[in-house]
Amino acid sequence: MTGFKRVAGVTGAMLAMVLFVSACAKKESSLPKDRGPSEVSRKSSQEAGQMAEESRQNQAKGFPPPEHQVSEAQPAVAKPEEAMTKDQMAELDRIKEKTMVFKGPKFKKQIALTFDDGPDREFTPQILKILKQKQVPATFFVVGNMVKKYPDMLREIDRDGHTIGNHSFNHPQLTKLKHPETDRQIGQTNQLIYQTIHKSPLLLRPPYGAINDQLEQHFGQKNFKIIQWSVDTRDWAGQSPEQIMATVKREADPGGIILQHCAGGKQLQSTVQVLPGLIDYFRGQGYEFVTVDKLLNIPAYEEYTNKVSQ
Ligand SMILES: [Zn+2]
- Confidence at residue 176, expressed as pLDDT on a 0 to 100 scale: 97
Q: CA torsion sign, 219 to 221 to 224 to 229?
A: positive
Crossing angle, helix 179-197 and helix 2-25, to 10 degrees?
150
| Catalytic status, residue 261 | yes
Q: Which residues contact 269 (CB under 8 A, 6 or more apart)?
A: 123
d(CA 184, CA 182): 5
Burial class (CB in 10 A: 0-12, 13-18, 19+), 244: buried
Check pLDDT > 50 for residue 231: yes
Q: CA torsion sign, 24 to 29 to 32 to 37?
A: positive
- pLDDT tens-digit profile of 70-82? 333 444 444 445 6
| Catalytic status, residue 116 | yes
- Confidence at residue 84, expressed as pLDDT on a 0 to 100 scale: 85
Distance 297 CA to ligand 1 centre (A): 24
Q: What proportion of the chain, given as a percentage, has pLDDT over 70?
A: 72
Whether residue 291 contacts residue 131, with contact meaning beta carbons closer than 8 Å, is answered with no
Check pLDDT > 70 for residue 193: yes
Choosing from 68, 116, 171, 235, the catalytic residue is 116
Q: Is 111 helix (H, G, I), strand (E, B) or coil?
A: strand
Mean pLDDT, range 19-35, rounded to an integer = 36
Mean pLDDT of the chain: 80
In angstroms, what CA-CA distances link 170 with 54, 111, 156, 231, 274? 13, 28, 21, 24, 27
Mean pLDDT, range 182-209, rounded to an integer = 97
Q: How confident is the model at residue 14 (pLDDT cuts 50, 70, 90)?
A: very low
Mean pLDDT, range 257-285, rounded to an integer = 94
- Confidence at residue 281, expressed as pLDDT on a 0 to 100 scale: 97
Q: Which residues contact 98 (CB under 8 A, 6 or more apart)?
A: none
Q: How confident is the model at residue 171 (pLDDT cuts 50, 70, 90)?
A: very high
User: What residue segments make up the domains of the chain, in order of their start?
Assistant: 101-310
Host H or E run for residue 76: none
Choosing from 68, 162, 167, 261, the catalytic residue is 261
Q: What CATH superfamily is the domain 101-310?
A: Glycoside hydrolase/deacetylase (3.20.20.370)
